[in-house]
Amino acid sequence: MTRSGPLALVGGAEWREGCRFDAELLKASGGEEVLVLPTAAAYEHPERSVATATSWFEGLGAKVRPLMVLRRPDAEDPANAAAVADARFIYLGGGSPLHLRSVLKDSAVWAALVAAWRNGAVVAGSSAGAMVLTDPMVDPRGGAYTVGLGLVSQVAVIPHADTWSPEKAHRTIALAPKGIPIVAVDEQTAIVRHFGTETGWTAAGTGSVKVFLNGQESTLESLPG
């Protein structure tokens, strides 16, 4: 039986020196190409995100294939969906989680991503990308919660945790649904789940990871398997 591929939720400031975990994800993919979707940065010069990713992964011995899924019609394009379906390492960059969610939700590209992941492809999301991959999702407009895309459910991510104000972080943790672990992930840091292994979720990168459950600090062991 095919097992879902590794999943990485990155706290932001992706494709920089502190993100050495990308080398392990690349190795796990079994390939030398990363499909980068700068969807969340559609209104923030997405080509710059692609350039940063290209430079970073070249240093790791891999090529970046940009897939410019920037609007809803792009997400329904059969050619884009086919590219995602064939990819072994799919990376959603940062930007606006609300735009990213609206573009991908119930789209052909999203269906292809889920299918690829379930067939063993590596999926990584940073900042907005990490937020939408969970359900519930932290709402950037006020720090409460909204519906995410739910590649992994019953968990939510606070990215850029090392830059959040204590007040905003406290509000988000306090508003968390009962029984849902909230993971605060620093920039250039990730939580990674190698499904089908005994290691569960692990933390990687230069920063720290904190887990909160029902308002109390917890551990990565409280995350869904």
Tell me the pLDDT band of 153, cut-offs 50, 70 and 90. very high
CB 130 within 8 A of CB 159: yes
Give the residue extent of every domain in the chain. 7-135+185-206
Contacts of 161 (CB under 8 A, 6+ apart): 11, 169, 184, 185, 186, 207, 208, 210
Residue 140: the pLDDT is 86
- What's the mean pLDDT in 125-132? 98
pLDDT digits (tens, 9 = 90+) for 58-102: 999 999 999 999 999 999 999 999 999 999 999 999 999 999 999
Q: Report whether pLDDT(198) > 60.
A: no
Q: Report whether pLDDT(149) > 60.
A: yes
Range of lowest pLDDT (29-43, 150-164, 178-192, 196-210): 196-210
Please tell me the distance from the alpha carbon of residue 97 to that of residue 11, in angstroms, as a whole number.
13
CB 117 within 8 A of CB 62: no
Q: Choose the CATH number for 7-135+185-206 among 3.40.50.620, 3.10.20.340, 3.40.50.880, 3.30.450.30.
A: 3.40.50.880
Residue 143: the pLDDT is 79
pTM higher than 0.85, yes or no? yes
